[in-house]
Amino acid sequence: MMRENHVAPTDLIAPLFVQTGENIREPIASLPGQNRFSPDTSAKEALELWNLGIPAVILFGIPDSKDAIGTSATDPNGPVPRTIREIKRLAPEVCVIADVCACEYTDHGHCGILHGETVDNDATLELLGRVAVAYARAGCDMVAPSDMMDGRVAAIRGALDAAGCAMTPIMSYAAKFAGAFYGPFRDAAGSAPSFGDRRSYQMDISNRREALREMALDTEEGADALIIKPGLFCLDLVRDARERFDLPLCVYNVSSEYAMIKAAGQIGWINEKQLIDETLISFKRAGADLIITYHAREWAEAI
Ligand code: PBG
């Protein structure tokens, strides 16, 4: 009765790693309990999540081929568009969100097109627009750009509208920090940069005001929802954002946060189940509406 915050399965978005093929359900070593799926098994997973009360998934593609300019990211028969169509066939009510980025599709692993050794922000915008259109045409319910190029929300909005996809909303990774937070994800998706790091486009973890500027810019450019990432390291920003912006606010409980709990749980150093509960409620207390989390399925099963 006195409890101020609650977590419900309807708050959760489950990440899914997808590749082409059939009947694939391959465990991911760096993310115990998570799998790489093919389009058919992704759809089954999405339906099972739906039956547990989890309304949404976010898709990350592992393509068959990579090149310097991320050509496979726009392939209408790539793993993400195929999976969108499969999920919509088997479980049409599931909200399918597609992460939009180049890093899984470039052979150098950076989130955009290179000019020399640096990412060319403006050349990347056009690619991101085409990727978003490919996913929208495949039937996804929302696109989520995670590349952190400046101006990409406006560019993607323009590309979607021009392609007749005006009804596809954008949930932008508005404040996303560079660092070691995404290591297990990059193992899972094969998207680690082959040289350098992402500090020319992702933010410095020291900066709070800059995060608010980034969120304000994405809001002005037409974002329909904002993501803050990593989650547990940024609860102050979740609270700041809750007070400043009216858009739906999503927090990404990232791969390293998940992996730390799993590792400590496996060796019996923590009460894993309780810590997962406390992690998720902390996001709600900070002010998040939605939580992208690898814990989604196990948490919903446990309740
Ligand atoms: C793609 C992307 C990443 C994550 C989400 N989208 C990796 C990165 O930026 O290197 C990380 C999610 C996680 O760690 O769980 N750019």
The whole model's pTM is what?
0.98
Q: Mark out the alpha helices in 96-169 (DSSP H runs).
A: 121-138, 152-162
**Cα-to-centroid distance, 4 and ligand 1 (Å):** 31
Residue 105 lies in a domain: yes
**Angstrom distance (rounded) from CA 85 to CA 14:** 17
pLDDT tens figures, 62-118: 999 999 999 999 999 999 999 999 999 999 999 999 999 999 999 999 999 999 999
**Active-site option among 229, 262, 273, 284:** 229
**Angstrom distance (rounded) from CA 253 to CA 63:** 24
Q: Is the CB of 106 under 6 A from ligand 1?
A: no
> How many CA within 13 A on the CB side of residue 272?
17
Cβ–Cβ < 8 Å for 283, 291: yes
**Cα-to-centroid distance, 267 and ligand 1 (Å):** 26
Cβ–Cβ < 8 Å for 46, 88: no
pLDDT tens figures, 15-37: 999 999 999 999 999 999 999 99
Full DSSP string of 179-193: SGGGHHHHHHHT---
Atom of ligand 1 minimally distant from the CA of 255: 15
Q: Is 284 a catalytic residue?
A: no
Atom of ligand 1 minimally distant from the CA of 191: 10
Residue 257 lies in a domain: no
Query: Domain of 56?
Result: 9-226
Nearest CA among 120, 132, 123 for reference residue 201: 120
List the CATH number of the domain containing 132. Answer: 3.20.20.70
Atom of ligand 1 minimally distant from the CA of 176: 9
Instruction: Please give the DSSP secondary-structure letter assigned to residue 236.
Output: H
Residue 30 lies in a domain: yes
Residue 247 lies in a domain: no
Residue 169 lies in a domain: yes
Q: How many domains are there within the chain?
A: 1
